[in-house]
Amino acid sequence: MSTAFIAKEIFDGEELHTGKAILVRDGRVTDLVEEGGIPASYRIQHVNGQLLAPAFTDLQLYGGNGKLFSTELTVESLEATYEYCLGGGCTQYMITMATNSIGKFLRGFEVVREYWSGGGKGLLGLHLEGPYINPAKKGAHLEQYIKKPTAEELSLLLEKGKGVLRMMTLAPEQCEEQLISMLLAEKVIVSAGHSNATYEQAIDGFYQGIPAATHLFNAMSPLQGRQPGMVGAIYDNNDVMCSVVCDGIHVDFASVRVSKKIMENRLFFITDAVTEVLHGEYQHVFHEDRYTLPNGTLSGSSLTMIACVRNAVEKIGIPLPEALRMASLYPARVLGMQETMGRIRTGALADFVVMDEQLGLLQVIVEGE
């Protein structure tokens, strides 16, 4: 079906438009035209709300709606997580597994394939956060599974995870250069995190080709006057992108503001969201606005992507167009998919969010439906 979407304002990922219509056919944008230029073959759909924008992308969350993927390695867990994502305006997501056994990772690969073969939507692949991290910065990760990588084990993950393993968070100081090169050669997005790297070690990792870093400030060596650490290396490298958990709990809003001034378009949002689970190896207890381990260690957020955008605008003072890019275009850029995601342009996915003047989410449109 060919549909022309008309909204009061349209944000195309770069600029705002009024008096325009988005032409969509077969789940893709075919053009952005003046309202008077809509072809007769297109069905017109007026969208209620203040603003229509590209839908969001979340590169790190662990589950949703009561299903933690690593605890319940099932298609149903992925379906529940997708529904959670949609509730926050996110139509593309990377399911994440924290440090665990290799056996569980291998089963995770299989379940992702089952989800896809059954027509499951929105899932970009699997993000392994660990196990090759630094135990000194383990955070809520299980130390018994933390290890240094071997070529044999990494080859197994790459072989069994081919087409599924899309991203891996690791500590560069724990990994030999040749092993990082193995991941990069297989087009796995390597992200530096849960790391106690010195500034020099972190910079070396970035020069080796590591393109990203995971949840700025959390579980990484801090910026200090005589020891710039991982945070200093991220600030100082003009190519590395980094995620941030914008809830005012994982990171103070003032720290996000300062980081945004330094990093500009290299900073993007993730939710790092978990769900309450009171059994299994990873237990998350809900406390009003966050999740912790039973011992009180901060273990995940209760964020949605639309909440990240609202916090950025209302608590930090980031202009709305830029906050929207941090939730859509910039994550797409990490994936190398900025031509088809995070923008409204010819050939892009017809995934949109519709918001009111208070940045409340009114509607999520997936593949033009």
At residue 67, φ and ψ (nearest 5 deg) are: -120, 110
347, 339 contact by CB (below 8 A): yes
Please state, in angstroms and rounded to a whole number, the distance separating the CA atoms of residues 202 and 179.
15
Q: Please name the residues in contact with 337: beta carbons below 8 A apart, sequence gap of 6 or more.
A: none
Q: Which amino acid is at 236?
A: D
The Cα-based distances of 236 to 19, 34, 170, 261, 300 in angstroms read: 42, 43, 20, 13, 27
C-alpha distance from residue 46 to each of 1, 7, 24, 39, 290 (Å)? 16, 6, 13, 15, 37
204 catalytically annotated: no
At 66, the amino acid letter reads G
The catalytic residue among 12, 31, 247, 272 is 272
Tell me if 196 sits within 8 A of 170, measured CB to CB. no
Helices (H), 30-150: 75-87, 102-117
In DSSP terms, 312 is beta-bridged to none
User: Alpha-carbon distance 215 to 140, whole Å?
Assistant: 13
**Residues annotated catalytic, as ranges:** 272
